[in-house]
C-alpha cells in the first residue's frame, strides 16, 4: 500500500467518525438543528476549526462565524491561487445529518490525505465552512458564501429574525465590527484566480434511480422567495356570519392552491408554500391576518420570471376579489448558475474512473456554489441520498457513498493541481 492509499484510508475513517460527531451537535434533541448564532452552530464551528488546525491549516473564525482554513503549498506564498473545498455547516429546522456538512468534512479529509501522503501539490488548499447557507434566521440565503466572496449586501444588516432582532444588532451584541463586515469586498477570501469545488448530497432521487453513488452537477436552478401578508379583521368565531367576515385564511388557501396548480402545470417549475402563520391562531377566533412564504425555482432566470409574473397576477386577482389588504414582497432572489465546464469534466472523469460511469445532472436545490460561481470557476459533485430525501431527519447517505465521494473529490483535486 503506497502512502497516498494509506492516507486516503485513514482520512476516510475520520470522515465517517466526524459525520457521527456532527450528527450529535444540535440545539434540539429530536432532530438536527444548527441555526446561525445558535450555541449548536458555535459548537459545530469550534469542532470544524479544531479539525482544520489538526491538519496543519491556518484557520480563521470570522465575524459572521464562517470557518475557513488554508494550507500554503505554493512557492508563491499565501496569496497564490487557491483551490477551495467546502460547503455549509448550518441546517434548516428539522434537518438531516448530511446536507452541507458532508461537503465540509470531505474538504477536510482531502486536505488530510494530501498532507499525510506528502503528495506533491502546487496550489494553496483551502477548506470553507459557510455559516449560513439556509437563511433560516434572517432569510438571508448564502450569507456566509456571499461574505467570503465579496458579495455581502449592506441591506442584510437590517434583516430581522423572528424576534425582531436585526443581523446588525446581533453583530453589535457579539462585539463584532460592522466596518469589518462592510469592507469585506475590498479583499475577499475567494477571488477570480481561485477555484471552488463542493460536494453535496443530491437532495433528489435521480442518482438512486440510476444506481449510481455519485454524479456531477452542471447547473443550479434560479430561485426566488417571497412573503405574503393578508390582513382582514379578527372576530368572535360564534357571532359573525360568513358574509360579514373579513377572514384572510380561506383567501390565503386559494392562493396556496394557485401555487400548487402552477407547480403542477409545468414540471420545470418548483413552487412550495413552506411557512404559514395564522394570527392570532386561536380555535375560537376568526383569523385577522395570515402570513405565508412561497419558494419558487426554475432551471433558468427567464423561466422563473415568467412563472413568478403569472403567479403574482393570480394572487393579486384573488386578493382584489376578496377586498382584503395584500402585502407582497420578494425577500430573496438568485440567478441560475452554470458550473465551469473544465471542472465539470474533471469531476466527470473521476466519477468514471472510480465508479465505472458518470452522470451529469441539474440541481434544483440552491447551493453556496451559486455565489462562488459568480466569482471563480466552480464545480459540484453530487452524492446519492436514500429516497432522494433531504431537509428531513431521515436524510441518509451510506458510508460507502460518502467514501466514494471523498475519493472522487481527492482524485479530482490532485488532477486539477497537476493540470492547471
What digits encode the pLDDT tens for the residues 335-371? 888 999 999 999 999 999 999 999 999 898 889 999 9
The domain limits of the chain are: 3-221+336-419, 223-334
Q: What pLDDT does 1 receive?
A: 63
pTM: 0.85
Q: What pLDDT does 269 receive?
A: 94
Contact 154, 168 (CB under 8 A): no
**Distant-in-sequence contacts of 179-185, Cβ < 8 A, 24+ apart:** 180/63, 181/63, 181/64, 181/147, 181/152, 181/157, 182/152, 182/154, 184/147, 184/148, 184/150, 184/152, 185/150, 185/151, 185/152
Task: Look at residue 158 and give its three-state secondary structure.
Answer: helix
Domains 3-221+336-419 and 223-334 agree in fold? no
Q: What is the CATH number of domain 223-334?
A: 3.30.70.360
Percent of the chain with pLDDT over 70: 100
Before 280, cis peptide (omega within 30)? yes
End-to-end CA distance of the chain: 28
Taking residue 291's Cβ as centre, other Cβ atoms within 10 Å add up to 17
Task: Look at residue 260 and give its three-state secondary structure.
Answer: helix
Q: What pLDDT does 140 receive?
A: 87
What digits encode the pLDDT tens for the residues 25-36? 999 988 899 999
Q: What pLDDT does 335 receive?
A: 84
Q: Which CATH architecture has domain 3-221+336-419?
A: 3-Layer(aba) Sandwich (3.40)
Between CA 137 and CA 61 the distance in angstroms is 19
Q: What pLDDT does 139 receive?
A: 85
Which of 125, 1, 148, 127 is closest to 74 using CA atoms?
125
| Residues of the chain where predicted confidence (pLDDT) is lower than 70 | 1
Amino acid at each position: 500500500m503506497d502512502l497516498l492509499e494509506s492516507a486516503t484510508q485513514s482520512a476516510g475513517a475520520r470522515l465517517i467518525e466526524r459525520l457521527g460527531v456532527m450528527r450529535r451537535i444540535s440545539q434540539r434533541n429530536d432532530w438536527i438543528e444548527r441555526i446561525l448564532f445558535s450555541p449548536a452552530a458555535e459548537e459545530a464551528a469550534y469542532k470544524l476549526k479544531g479539525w482544520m488546525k489538526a491538519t496543519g491549516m491556518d484557520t480563521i473564525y470570522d465575524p459572521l462565524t464562517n470557518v475557513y482554513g488554508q494550507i500554503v503549498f505554493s512557492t508563491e506564498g499565501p496569496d497564490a491561487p487557491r483551490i477551495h473545498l467546502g460547503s455549509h455547516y448550518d441546517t434548516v429546522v428539522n434537518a438531516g445529518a448530511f446536507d452541507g456538512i458532508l461537503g465540509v468534512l470531505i474538504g477536510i479529509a482531502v486536505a488530510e490525505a494530501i498532507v499525510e501522503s506528502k503528495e506533491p501539490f502546487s496550489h494553496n488548499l483551502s477548506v470553507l465552512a459557510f455559516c449560513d447557507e439556509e437563511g433560516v434566521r434572517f432569510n438571508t440565503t448564502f450569507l456566509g458564501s456571499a461574505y467570503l466572496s465579496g458579495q455581502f449586501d449592506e441591506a442584510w444588516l437590517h434583516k430581522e429574525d423572528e424576534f425582531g432582532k436585526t443581523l446588525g444588532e446581533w453583530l453589535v451584541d457579539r462585539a463584532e465590527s460592522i466596518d469589518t463586515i462592510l469592507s469585506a469586498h475590498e479583499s475577499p477570501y475567494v477571488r477570480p484566480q481561485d477555484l471552488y469545488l463542493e460536494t453535496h448530497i443530491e437532495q433528489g432521487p435521480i442518482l438512486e434511480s440510476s444506481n449510481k453513488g455519485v454524479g456531477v452537477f452542471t447547473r443550479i436552478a434560479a430561485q426566488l422567495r417571497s412573503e405574503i401578508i393578508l390582513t382582514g379583521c379578527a372576530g368572535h368565531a360564534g357571532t359573525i356570519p360568513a358574509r360579514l367576515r373579513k377572514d384572510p385564511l380561506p383567501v390565503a388557501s386559494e392562493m396556496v392552491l394557485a401555487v400548487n396548480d402552477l407547480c403542477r402545470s409545468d414540471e420545470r417549475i418548483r413552487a412550495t408554500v413552506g411557512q404559514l402563520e395564522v394570527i392570532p391562531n386561536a380555535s375560537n377566533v376568526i383569523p385577522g391576518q395570515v402570513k405565508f412564504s412561497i419558494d419558487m425555482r426554475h432551471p433558468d432566470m427567464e423561466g422563473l420570471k415568467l412563472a413568478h409574473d403569472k403567479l403574482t397576477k393570480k394572487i393579486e386577482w384573488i386578493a382584489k376579489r376578496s377586498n382584503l389588504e395584500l402585502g407582497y414582497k420578494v425577500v430573496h432572489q438568485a440567478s441560475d448558475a452554470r458550473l465551469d465546464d473544465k471542472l465539470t469534466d474533471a469531476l466527470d472523469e473521476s466519477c468514471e474512473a472510480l465508479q465505472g460511469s458518470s452522470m451529469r445532472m441539474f440541481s434544483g436545490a440552491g447551493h453556496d456554489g451559486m455565489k462562488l460561481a459568480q466569482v471563480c470557476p466552480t464545480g459540484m459533485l453530487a452524492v446519492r441520498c436514500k429516497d432522494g430525501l433531504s431537509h428531513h431527519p431521515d436524510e441518509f447517505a451510506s458510508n460507502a457513498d460518502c467514501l466514494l465521494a471523498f475519493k472522487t473529490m481527492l482524485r479530482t483535486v490532485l488532477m486539477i493541481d497537476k493540470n492547471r
